[in-house]
Structure 1
Amino acid sequence: MHTIKKQIPNLITLLNLLSGCIALVYATESNFEYAFYFVCLGIFLDFFDGFFARLFKVASPLGLQLDSLADMVTSGLVPGYVMFMMLKDSQHEITSLPMFAYLGFIVTLGSCYRLANFNIDTRQTDSFIGLPTPANALFILSLPLVLHYSDSLFLLELMTNQYFLLVIIVGSAYILNAEVPLFSLKIKKFTLQDNLLQVVFLLFSLLFVVFFQFGGVALTILFYVLLSVVNNKWIKK
Structure 2
Amino acid sequence: MDHGLWTMDYKMKQLSNVLTLGNLFCGAIAIIFILHAPQYIAEFNGTEYTVTNPEPIYWASALVVLAGIMDFFDGFVARWLCIQSPMGKELDSLADVVSFGVVPGMIIFRLLRSAYMQMPDVFDVSYLNLAPALLVPCFAAYRLAKFNLDTRQTDFFIGVPTPAVGLLVASFPLIMLYNPFNLAHWLQNIWVLYVIIVLLCYLMVAEIPMISMKFKSFRLAQDWPRLLLVVLLLIGIPVLKYAVVPFLFVCYVIISLIAPPGKATAINN
Same fold, judged at TM 0.5 (above): yes
**What letter matches 1:190 in structure 2?**
F
Partner of 2:260: helix, strand, or coil? helix
Residue 227 of structure 1 and its aligned partner are, at CA, apart by 1.1
CA distance in 1, matches of 2:64, 2:10: 29
Partner of 2:165: 136
Q: How do 1:63-74 and structure 2 match up within 5 A?
A: 63-74=88-99
Deviates more, 1:185-194 or 1:213-222: 185-194
- Structure 1 residue 189 and structure 2 residue 207: aligned? no
Deviates more, 1:28-37 or 1:63-72: 28-37
Partner of 1:185: helix, strand, or coil? coil
**What letter matches 2:135 in structure 1?**
I
CA deviation vs aligned residue, 1:25-52 (integer Å, no higher than 9, x gap): 2233242322121111111111111121
Match of 2:106 among 61, 81, 89: 81
Partner of 1:17: 24
CA contact (8 A) 2:68 2:167 kept: no
CA contact (8 A) 2:180 2:242 kept: no
Q: Which runs of 5+ in 2 are unaligned?
A: 1-7, 38-53, 262-269
CA distance in 1, matches of 2:10, 2:260: 43
**What letter matches 1:99 in structure 2?**
L
CA contact (8 A) 1:93 1:162 kept: no
Q: Give the structure with the larger helix fraction.
A: 1
Partner of 1:180: 208
Partner of 1:118: 147
Residue 144 of structure 1 and its aligned partner are, at CA, apart by 2.3
Partner of 1:99: 128
Segments ≥4 residues shifted beyond 4 Å: 92-95
CA deviation vs aligned residue, 1:169-190 (integer Å, no higher than 9, x gap): 1111000111111111111112
Partner of 1:225: 253
Q: TM-score normalised to the size of structure 1?
A: 0.91
- Structure 1 residue 3 and structure 2 residue 10: aligned? yes
- Structure 1 residue 215 and structure 2 residue 243: aligned? yes
Partner of 2:264: none
- Cα distance change on mapping 1:157 and 1:54 into 2, 3 Å: closer
Deviates more, 1:77-86 or 1:190-199: 190-199
CA contact (8 A) 2:180 2:241 kept: no
Match of 2:198 among 170, 178, 182: 170
CA contact (8 A) 1:130 1:175 kept: yes
Deviates more, 1:120-129 or 1:94-103: 94-103
CA distance in 2, matches of 1:98, 1:190: 50
- Structure 1 residue 57 and structure 2 residue 85: aligned? no
**How many residues end up aligned between the 2 structures?**
232
CA deviation vs aligned residue, 1:110-169 (integer Å, no higher than 9, x gap): 10100110000111110011100000111111122212211655x343211111100001
**What letter matches 2:63 in structure 1?**
F
CA contact (8 A) 2:61 2:173 kept: no
CA distance in 2, matches of 1:192, 1:156: 37
CA distance in 1, matches of 2:216, 2:181: 42
Partner of 1:182: helix, strand, or coil? strand
* Larger gyration radius, structure 1 or structure 2: 2
Partner of 2:220: helix, strand, or coil? coil
Q: Which runs of 5+ in 1 are unaligned?
A: none
- Structure 1 residue 41 and structure 2 residue 66: aligned? yes
Identity rate, percent? 36
Residue 192 of structure 1 and its aligned partner are, at CA, apart by 2.6
**What letter matches 1:162 in structure 2?**
I
